[in-house]
Amino acid sequence: MRTLAAYLRPYWKAVLLAPLLMLLEVYMDLLQPKLMASIVNDGVMKGDLAHVRSTGLLMLGYALIGLIGGIGCTVFSSSAAQNFGTDLREALFRKVQTFSYKNLDRFKEGSLVTRLTGDIVQVQNLVQMTLRILVRAPFLALGSVIMALTISPKLALILAVAIPLLFLVLFLLIRFSFPLFSQVQQKLDGLNTVLQENFSGIRVVKAFVRGPFEEARFGRANEDYTAVALKAARAVAINMPVMTLIMNVSIVAVLWFGGAQTWNGELPVGDLVAFINYVTQVLFSLLMVGMMMVFISRAKASADRINEVMTTEADIQSPAQALKDTVQAGRVEFRNVAFSYEGEDRKELVLKHLSFTAEAGQTLAILGPTGSGKSSLVSLIPRLYDPVEGSVLIDGTDVREMDLHHLRGRIGMVLQQAILFSGTIRDNIRFGRPEASQEEVEAAARAAEAHEFIMSFPDGYDTVLGQRGINLSGGQKQRISIARALLLRPAILILDDSTSAVDLGTESRIQRALKELMAETTCILIAQRISSVLDADRILVLEDGEIAAEGTHAELMESSRVYQDIYRSQLGKEEVSYGR
């Protein structure tokens, strides 16, 4: 919590004014029972209506001053809390943007969404309550105890018994509830993950008639969350009746012993009424503190989860003396590169000591079965991951020595899954270059064979896309993704099976346009269809994370049985010349 408190510093004036105004309200509230005692003792009991009138007006004036203090505290505490939440949310979002793929693998999407929304709301609410209730309750309780002592030290002994009991209840509440609220947030993570997966894949669920399975999966996650939430709720629910019982017993004790003192003439009636009011204020204040402990327990669990993200260092960062303007021609070289998703543990190498070169301006095609490491290989070029051994070099410089923004800004990447964002088609194409002109946008779209279908929409490039481009077909989304990468005019273009959803004719036209528009760009092409790689300058065939064959199409047809098998299975060629 102390770490997150730094986000309150810009709003220190509101943070200072809120409790000061609350203290004003508390002071006015503490004066009310004393004035009431004066009305009863010196006004009602003596028949002095003038005293009743003047003291009553004084009470009303103090109440109005207290009202101003309470309203002011609410205004300033709300302002501080809302701004705190806004800044913290932005900081957490910026932090997530710095994460590498490995960091994101650790924090699942559902968990990050929960932390950015529910967890921050919990901490934000705690800030507001701290500036109001956690100021009001302790000072009102302390002030009421002092005022009660001034009225009757004997009766105040009742508080000496009740207050320790209340603190014991609070201690037990905190001890048992905090671990439970941590579990509640973890279960909420799991619930959100199931929801996100289901909503994003709802069409697949319907296509495979897996609704009952998904309902059962959601039901299990929901029941797990409910079970832990109920356990936490029970711990909280016990708190209120126990504290209310202690409070009521204390008031009965005050009436019992105080009534006897009044009957004996030791304590004026007005003072007894005032004492009861002060005791009630003390006990209600401690009751408020008890409720606050619940919020503090939940907020503490949320704050720990937020800090877990904020203190996580991105394992891929620009070095201290990062090199800029090094990526020019786009020559890519892998030197003895090994890679594992487990990092340095190397439990299972996905890529096993690969060495190859893609010369500037060349088209390097990568073929291989599913799981052979094709996508893992290209993810090392823009440093989405780092190899566990060996080096990836661009124009002779290790990518780990480069500035990340420069490196990634010079690489255009079309991922295997076309991801589009809510907004217009133009905004999606200009995602990497917001300043690009309409002419540049259209040129990229034409090269990606997207211009024609875009113009078929009534709004053309101003057509608004739904979430993830839901109102486009798979092939249309892929072509817009390609246009988005082409608009960057990158030194290196990576196409990760990015034309799998388009027909052969469209793919052929896209490849011809790429050769014209990106003639000087190094193109690394991952493909499943062998027809996509026939004209590549060099072809790598990956198998189980190793280079099984390397060469041009003609060379591989002569020397590689693996390549020949792929060619024959896809194009149906029976007569294949095997290596001699």
DSSP string, 475-530: HHHHHHHHHHHHTT--SEEEEESTTTTS-HHHHHHHHHHHHHHTTTSEEEEE-SSG
Q: How far apart are CA 264 and CA 115, in angstroms?
A: 62
Instruction: Extract the tokens encoding 319.
Output: 């070095």
Indicate if 187 and 257 belong to the same structural domain.
yes
Domain region containing 268: 4-310
Query: Interior CA angle at 461 toward 455 and 462, to 5°?
Result: 125
Is the Cβ–Cβ distance between 13 and 86 less than 8 Å? no
Q: Which of 268, 287, 310 is the last residue of a domain?
A: 310
User: Into how many domains does the chain fold?
Assistant: 2
Angle 241-246-250 from CA coordinates, rounded to 5°: 145
Which of 310, 333, 362 is the endpoint of a domain? 310
Question: Residue 39 is part of a domain; what is its CATH number?
Answer: 1.20.1560.10
Structure-block tokens of residue 436: 């690009």
Reading the block at residue 434, the tokens are 């917001």
The per-residue pLDDT for 347 is 65
pLDDT of residue 574: 41
Is position 96 within any domain?
yes
The pLDDT value given to residue 345: 59
Contact 417, 474 (CB under 8 A): no
Pair 186, 45 in one domain? yes
Report DSSP state, residue 43: I
Q: Is-contact 354 337, C-beta < 8 A? A: yes
Q: Residue 561: inside a domain, yes or no?
A: yes
**pLDDT, position 25:** 93
End position of a domain, from candidates 277, 310, 343: 310
The rounded distance, in Å, linking the Cα atoms of 217 and 484 is: 37
DSSP assignment of 536-565: -SEEEEEETTEEEEEE-HHHHHHH-HHHHH
Give Dmax over CA atoms of the chain in angstroms.
125
Supply the pLDDT for residue 66.
92
* Nearest Cα residue to 428 out of 477, 499, 495: 477
CB atoms within 10 A of CB 141: 24
Asked whether residue 94 falls in the same domain as residue 229, the answer is: yes
- Is 505 contained in some domain? no
Judgement on whether residues 393 and 245 belong to the same structural domain of the protein? no
Q: Is residue 379 part of a domain?
A: yes
Task: Give the up-direction half-sphere exposure of residue 31: CA atoms within 13 A in the CB hemisphere.
Answer: 17
Would you call 391 exposed, middle or buried from its count of C-beta atoms within 10 A (0-12, 13-18, 19+)? middle
Close Cβ partners of 201 (under 8 Å, ≥ 6 residues apart): none
In a domain, residue 476? The reply is no
130 inside domain:
yes
My answer on whether 296 and 341 are in the same domain is: no
C-alpha–C-alpha distance, residues 356 and 336, integer Å: 9
Contact 564, 575 (CB under 8 A): no
pLDDT for the residue 15: 92
234 & 346 share domain = no
Digitized pLDDT (tens) for each residue of the chain, 580 residues in all: 677 888 898 999 999 999 999 999 999 999 999 888 888 888 888 788 888 899 889 999 999 999 999 999 999 999 999 999 999 999 999 998 888 888 887 887 778 888 888 889 989 999 998 888 888 888 998 998 899 888 888 888 888 888 888 778 777 777 777 677 778 877 887 887 787 777 767 767 766 677 788 888 888 888 888 888 888 777 777 777 877 788 788 888 888 888 888 888 788 888 888 888 888 888 888 878 877 777 787 788 888 889 989 988 888 888 888 898 889 889 999 999 999 887 665 568 899 999 999 999 888 999 888 888 888 899 999 998 899 999 999 999 999 999 999 998 899 888 877 888 888 999 999 998 899 999 999 999 988 888 999 999 999 999 988 777 777 888 888 889 889 988 888 899 998 877 766 777 777 787 777 777 777 889 998 887 787 788 888 999 988 889 988 998 888 888 888 888 888 887 764 444 433 3
